[in-house]
Structure 1
């Protein structure tokens, strides 16, 4: 562990202190095979958390970053899906809900190809994994080649994208749909409210919320919303997690989810070239998805991408950070980039006490500065937007966001998220993706941002 902390670091004393603190979080949260998001609230392995964690770990140990992704991919289902949670069998079931005995993956998901072990959830999270794998490879190509990292993960990542592009294109526009509010990673965003109102919640006596053991109820999703989450997951489980037969009462096209798929398709193209394979299918897919993203989800009137509710095939009139995440797409039309940049700098997303990007419109009717994804500013989405700003040459805005990110990460003890009104740290402390992405912003040379657009 000392060797990881003593790697070359940024020159200033403040940066060195911040880097050592971030490294310590990742070392302390390492389980031996993967990294938990938090030792308290999140004691298992989460899908998009591990991708972000690997991006930061590559600056400490390329091998450990590879193992982070490999351990997640080892739980991949035969149909290609990467589950959003991989459960640690040594953690008691009552430490987290929904627990393995709720999802029943090895039994209920058998026909869909769930592994016999480990136990997993049945839903997914945003596809940032191929981007993470490519960045991990580039951090130490010799170590990657020695371990055969790219050659082993590339086909698994292709299968993951194939699952999304075949089983999850539920609308007529060809974009990937999410079927549970937990899948986009922004669990209780106001963007889901309209679709959730159609869902009859599960009775509270049928489950016990473990998240309230470590978080204040005022910060967490309401009991009503949580009951709806449980109902959706129960119905999906009852259908054997089969997207061809599941009722999918909740189905939306999310701009952030699809933007990350585009960027990860471009990463697969890079991997294909490195392995001597044909990159053209990945490039064509990225181009087509970009066209669909603009045609289906761009709202020129408001200058932001909208979620589309597939039940009635209409856009949802809510402005959240997911509508800004497409800045990460390198081939986005210039006029849309300009509009997104202006929206980002508008009163809707310019917080009084942080430079991080709020998760929801500060002027919106549902804004709540402390309630999870209904207002608080998160580090991972701000990292994505900072990367997008740099990719489009908006370096002044990127530098401002980067500076605010690093300042807030240090003063908050690597908090899960920040209250945008008061600047107070909220959620868990020593949060892994906050620490990992802090390392990335401290250590990256920015060269990899434009690389995917080539």
Structure 2
């Protein structure tokens, strides 16, 4: 293990150093471009992922606004008729054994037909966090004239509205006005300890029933365990057998996640901005964002812990785990001031201040399930750092925001745009040349940070 010498400090910024970093990030995105969209990784993730594409579009806007628009449009082209945006859109040219669960597991065009799955391409049946409207608005803002010329907002705004309608209607499983996730892959933080208690109720699928392709390219120490994977497979299979119909299926896993709902709030505000641009009524989106913010605080805020908790809808209780998901709501612009103060204290306190990186660990460093290497059980991720950077700026915490930005850029360059970072050693983990790391590096290098956060 490397000696602990403290978080890396980025040298005084120079035009040459930033240009080198920008060129490296651009090369990652060019290499991972398929012609219609960007894969997260050529090896570990060879298809199109939902929230990955949103983050990629945020970075691509600094290279090619047209390509950033196309990134989002290609994803939305596979939207289901019920409004959901699937978490994977499969590339038919990639062999099925390159990734599991593959198209023949999800069977979207058949099993999902009644729920409105498109006949082609094949997709998964679950979703990921709704960051897409925020991404679309940022893409528009980067070149409004080009966006208007192509009618970009006019095309994507109705689809994004339908996506949010699906989440706020079909996925309000707790009746409290928040959107629920029904699989650990949906909140994007796949095997966070926040899901452990709920997953213990799920009988895992037998190991003989599936083959994990992720271990062909990822180290077992970095990846979810076979037991967890068996539970993921069981939940996805049960959803498929129910035709992916949220009106009839009895979900074995149902959680209200703070990050997921915070991104829904910010994206509702982005839809309001789009409506104003398109000369449509913006009040429906603004009012929904206000209501969601109240519900987020009422249902998920834990003042004594200083962060938001996950709510397990099977027991209607908050989960006693501290994950980075509970800090991401800092991105919501109109939180009560006392909530912002406590979130800031928790973010900068000992539970989330890593010894070897300025990025934020995905789980409480002092928590019983902390693992510095295993996927979402401790490693620090670049996308959550980007979200927290926006949150810090939204609430005027500019010094902390700049400190996080500088740490992000240092770590991205040193790790060859790694998927995530060990918070104890600072070592890059997971796959390298990861698309959202490269894309968000570009954004932090190129964006006008004086602009309004949303």
State the TM-score, normalized to the length of structure 2: 0.97
> 1:28-82 CA distances to partner (integer Å, 9 max, x unpaired)?
0000000000001000000000000000000000000000000000000000000
Tell me, yes or no, if the aligned pair for 1:235 and 1:247 is still in contact at 8 Å: no
- In the other structure, the counterpart of 1:126 is 129
> Mind listing any 5+ residue stretches in structure 2 that lack a counterpart?
1-12
- In the other structure, the counterpart of 1:261 is 264
> 1:422-451 CA distances to partner (integer Å, 9 max, x unpaired)?
00110010000000000000001124434x
- In the other structure, the counterpart of 2:3 is none
- In the other structure, the counterpart of 2:227 is 224
Per the alignment, in what secondary structure is the counterpart of residue 22 of structure 1? helix
What CA distance in whole angstroms lies between the structure 2 residues aligned with 1:386 and 1:78?
Answer: 35
Tell me, yes or no, if the aligned pair for 1:69 and 1:133 is still in contact at 8 Å: yes
Per the alignment, in what secondary structure is the counterpart of residue 220 of structure 1? coil
Tell me, yes or no, if the aligned pair for 1:129 and 1:157 is still in contact at 8 Å: yes
Q: Is 1:56 equivalent to 2:46 in the alignment?
A: no
Q: Is 1:417 equivalent to 2:429 in the alignment?
A: no
How many equivalent pairs are there? Answer: 442
What CA distance in whole angstroms lies between the structure 2 residues aligned with 1:86 and 1:179?
Answer: 19
- In the other structure, the counterpart of 2:314 is 311
> 1:137-156 CA distances to partner (integer Å, 9 max, x unpaired)?
01011111111100000000
> 1:158-190 CA distances to partner (integer Å, 9 max, x unpaired)?
000000000000003111000000000000000
What is the RMSD of the two structures over their aligned residues, measured on CA atoms? 0.8
What CA distance in whole angstroms lies between the structure 1 residues aligned with 2:252 and 2:43?
Answer: 32
What CA distance in whole angstroms lies between the structure 2 residues aligned with 1:447 and 1:332?
Answer: 21
State the TM-score, normalized to the length of structure 1: 0.97
Match of 1:378 among 368, 378, 381: 381
Q: Is 1:82 equivalent to 2:108 in the alignment?
A: no
Per the alignment, in what secondary structure is the counterpart of residue 387 of structure 1? helix
Tell me, yes or no, if the aligned pair for 1:262 and 1:289 is still in contact at 8 Å: yes
- In the other structure, the counterpart of 2:23 is 20
Match of 1:200 among 203, 210, 216: 203
- In the other structure, the counterpart of 1:397 is 400
What CA distance in whole angstroms lies between the structure 2 residues aligned with 1:115 and 1:447?
Answer: 41
- In the other structure, the counterpart of 1:335 is 338
- In the other structure, the counterpart of 1:145 is 148
Q: Is 1:249 equivalent to 2:252 in the alignment?
A: yes
> 1:96-115 CA distances to partner (integer Å, 9 max, x unpaired)?
00000000000000000000
What CA distance in whole angstroms lies between the structure 2 residues aligned with 1:173 and 1:294?
Answer: 12
Structure ranking higher on relative contact order (CA contacts 8 Å, 6+ apart)? 2
What CA distance in whole angstroms lies between the structure 1 residues aligned with 2:128 and 2:348?
Answer: 28
Per the TM alignment, residue 399 of structure 1 is displaced from its structure 2 partner at its CA by 0.6
- In the other structure, the counterpart of 1:293 is 296
Q: Is 1:165 equivalent to 2:171 in the alignment?
A: no
Q: Is 1:323 equivalent to 2:319 in the alignment?
A: no
Match of 1:431 among 425, 430, 434: 434
